[in-house]
Amino acid sequence: MKLLLSAVLGLTAAAPAFAQYETCRQIEEKQAEALFDRWNDSLKTGDPERVVANYAHQSMLLPTLSNAPRLTPESKADYFKHFLAKKPVGTIDMRSILIGCNTVLDTGLYTFKFDDGAKVAARYTFTYQWEPSVGKWLITSHHSSAQPESSD
Protein backbone atom coordinates (compact mmCIF):
# COMPACT_ATOMS: atom_id res chain seq x y z
CA MET A 1 0.00 0.00 0.00
CA LYS A 2 2.88 2.43 0.70
CA LEU A 3 4.16 1.87 -2.82
CA LEU A 4 0.71 2.54 -4.27
CA LEU A 5 0.29 5.66 -2.15
CA SER A 6 3.75 6.86 -3.20
CA ALA A 7 2.86 6.30 -6.86
CA VAL A 8 -0.47 8.11 -6.49
CA LEU A 9 1.12 11.06 -4.73
CA GLY A 10 4.04 11.16 -7.19
CA LEU A 11 6.76 10.43 -4.65
CA THR A 12 10.07 8.82 -5.41
CA ALA A 13 12.29 6.67 -3.23
CA ALA A 14 15.20 9.08 -3.76
CA ALA A 15 13.42 12.14 -2.36
CA PRO A 16 10.54 11.21 -0.07
CA ALA A 17 8.26 14.11 0.76
CA PHE A 18 8.00 12.76 4.29
CA ALA A 19 11.72 13.14 5.09
CA GLN A 20 10.95 16.17 7.26
CA TYR A 21 9.30 13.92 9.84
CA GLU A 22 11.12 11.71 12.27
CA THR A 23 8.08 9.55 12.97
CA CYS A 24 4.87 8.68 11.22
CA ARG A 25 1.68 10.05 12.71
CA GLN A 26 -0.79 7.21 13.17
CA ILE A 27 -4.42 7.54 12.08
CA GLU A 28 -7.19 4.96 11.95
CA GLU A 29 -9.58 4.69 9.01
CA LYS A 30 -12.53 6.06 11.05
CA GLN A 31 -10.41 9.07 12.03
CA ALA A 32 -9.49 9.56 8.37
CA GLU A 33 -13.20 9.46 7.46
CA ALA A 34 -13.83 12.11 10.12
CA LEU A 35 -11.53 14.52 8.27
CA PHE A 36 -14.19 14.83 5.56
CA ASP A 37 -16.84 15.30 8.26
CA ARG A 38 -14.79 18.14 9.77
CA TRP A 39 -14.60 19.82 6.33
CA ASN A 40 -18.31 19.21 5.63
CA ASP A 41 -19.26 20.60 9.06
CA SER A 42 -17.24 23.73 8.31
CA LEU A 43 -19.34 24.21 5.15
CA LYS A 44 -22.46 24.26 7.34
CA THR A 45 -21.12 27.29 9.25
CA GLY A 46 -21.41 29.44 6.12
CA ASP A 47 -18.03 30.98 6.99
CA PRO A 48 -15.42 30.73 4.17
CA GLU A 49 -12.56 31.27 6.64
CA ARG A 50 -13.66 28.26 8.70
CA VAL A 51 -13.62 26.12 5.55
CA VAL A 52 -10.23 27.44 4.43
CA ALA A 53 -8.80 26.62 7.90
CA ASN A 54 -8.98 22.94 6.83
CA TYR A 55 -6.38 23.53 4.10
CA ALA A 56 -2.61 23.67 4.46
CA HIS A 57 -1.14 27.03 3.51
CA GLN A 58 0.54 25.40 0.51
CA SER A 59 -2.34 23.46 -0.98
CA MET A 60 -4.42 23.29 -4.13
CA LEU A 61 -8.18 23.32 -4.51
CA LEU A 62 -9.65 22.28 -7.87
CA PRO A 63 -13.29 23.00 -7.02
CA THR A 64 -16.54 21.47 -8.24
CA LEU A 65 -18.22 24.63 -9.49
CA SER A 66 -15.28 26.66 -10.82
CA ASN A 67 -12.65 26.19 -13.52
CA ALA A 68 -10.03 28.24 -11.66
CA PRO A 69 -7.45 26.42 -9.51
CA ARG A 70 -7.31 27.94 -6.02
CA LEU A 71 -3.77 28.10 -4.62
CA THR A 72 -3.90 30.80 -1.96
CA PRO A 73 -6.05 31.04 1.16
CA GLU A 74 -7.61 34.19 -0.34
CA SER A 75 -8.59 32.49 -3.59
CA LYS A 76 -10.03 29.52 -1.69
CA ALA A 77 -12.06 31.88 0.52
CA ASP A 78 -13.34 33.65 -2.60
CA TYR A 79 -14.55 30.34 -4.04
CA PHE A 80 -16.17 29.23 -0.79
CA LYS A 81 -17.87 32.61 -0.33
CA HIS A 82 -19.90 31.89 -3.48
CA PHE A 83 -20.22 28.13 -2.92
CA LEU A 84 -21.47 28.56 0.66
CA ALA A 85 -24.19 30.95 -0.48
CA LYS A 86 -25.89 27.84 -1.93
CA LYS A 87 -25.83 26.19 1.55
CA PRO A 88 -24.19 22.93 0.44
CA VAL A 89 -24.23 19.69 2.40
CA GLY A 90 -22.05 16.86 1.15
CA THR A 91 -22.75 13.16 1.52
CA ILE A 92 -20.21 10.46 0.72
CA ASP A 93 -21.64 7.91 -1.72
CA MET A 94 -18.57 5.67 -1.92
CA ARG A 95 -14.93 6.02 -0.98
CA SER A 96 -11.51 4.45 -0.75
CA ILE A 97 -9.02 5.53 1.89
CA LEU A 98 -5.28 4.90 1.75
CA ILE A 99 -3.16 5.73 4.78
CA GLY A 100 0.56 6.41 4.53
CA CYS A 101 3.27 8.00 6.62
CA ASN A 102 1.76 11.32 7.73
CA THR A 103 -0.62 11.29 4.75
CA VAL A 104 -4.14 10.20 3.95
CA LEU A 105 -5.70 9.83 0.51
CA ASP A 106 -9.52 9.84 0.50
CA THR A 107 -11.07 9.45 -2.94
CA GLY A 108 -14.51 8.54 -4.20
CA LEU A 109 -17.93 9.93 -5.03
CA TYR A 110 -20.04 12.43 -3.14
CA THR A 111 -23.26 14.33 -3.67
CA PHE A 112 -23.90 17.92 -2.72
CA LYS A 113 -27.43 19.01 -1.90
CA PHE A 114 -28.18 22.72 -1.96
CA ASP A 115 -30.76 24.87 -0.20
CA ASP A 116 -32.74 25.37 -3.44
CA GLY A 117 -33.17 21.59 -3.84
CA ALA A 118 -30.49 21.20 -6.52
CA LYS A 119 -28.00 18.33 -6.35
CA VAL A 120 -24.56 17.79 -7.84
CA ALA A 121 -23.04 14.31 -7.99
CA ALA A 122 -19.26 14.63 -8.07
CA ARG A 123 -15.99 12.74 -7.94
CA TYR A 124 -13.49 13.84 -5.31
CA THR A 125 -9.96 13.38 -4.05
CA PHE A 126 -8.70 14.79 -0.78
CA THR A 127 -5.09 14.40 0.29
CA TYR A 128 -4.27 15.24 3.88
CA GLN A 129 -0.95 15.70 5.60
CA TRP A 130 -0.18 15.75 9.30
CA GLU A 131 0.99 19.27 10.16
CA PRO A 132 2.93 19.10 13.44
CA SER A 133 3.19 22.91 13.67
CA VAL A 134 -0.61 23.14 14.12
CA GLY A 135 -1.16 19.65 15.54
CA LYS A 136 -3.74 18.49 13.02
CA TRP A 137 -4.38 16.96 9.63
CA LEU A 138 -4.78 19.52 6.84
CA ILE A 139 -5.87 19.23 3.23
CA THR A 140 -2.94 19.53 0.82
CA SER A 141 -4.90 18.79 -2.33
CA HIS A 142 -8.63 18.74 -3.04
CA HIS A 143 -10.01 17.94 -6.46
CA SER A 144 -13.75 17.79 -7.10
CA SER A 145 -15.53 17.51 -10.42
CA ALA A 146 -19.14 16.96 -11.37
CA GLN A 147 -19.93 13.51 -12.73
CA PRO A 148 -19.79 13.68 -16.53
CA GLU A 149 -22.77 11.35 -16.96
CA SER A 150 -26.02 11.05 -15.09
CA SER A 151 -26.35 8.12 -12.71
CA ASP A 152 -29.46 6.78 -14.51
17 occurs within a structural domain = no
Residue 122 belongs to what domain range?
2-7+25-146
Task: Going residue by residue through the chain, which has 152 residues, state the pLDDT in tens, using 9 for 90 and above.
Answer: 444 444 445 444 444 454 455 689 989 999 999 999 999 999 999 999 999 999 999 999 999 888 999 999 999 999 999 999 999 999 999 999 999 999 999 999 999 999 999 999 999 999 999 999 999 999 999 999 999 876 55
13 occurs within a structural domain = no
What domain count does the chain have?
1
Cβ neighbours of residue 132 closer than 8 Å, sequence gap 6 or more: 21, 25
**Measured between alpha carbons, how far is 142 from 152 in angstroms, rounded to an integer?**
27
- Buried b / exposed e along 59-68 (16+ C-beta atoms within 10 A): bbbbbbeeee
42 membership: H or E segment, kind and range: helix 29-44
**Measured between alpha carbons, how far is 9 from 17 in angstroms, rounded to an integer?**
10
At 21 the pLDDT is 55
122 occurs within a structural domain = yes
98 occurs within a structural domain = yes
20 occurs within a structural domain = no
At 13 the pLDDT is 43
12 occurs within a structural domain = no
At 150 the pLDDT is 62
119 occurs within a structural domain = yes
Q: Is the dihedral of CA 97, 103, 109, 110 positive or negative?
A: positive
**CATH number of residue 73's parent domain:** 3.10.450.50
19 occurs within a structural domain = no
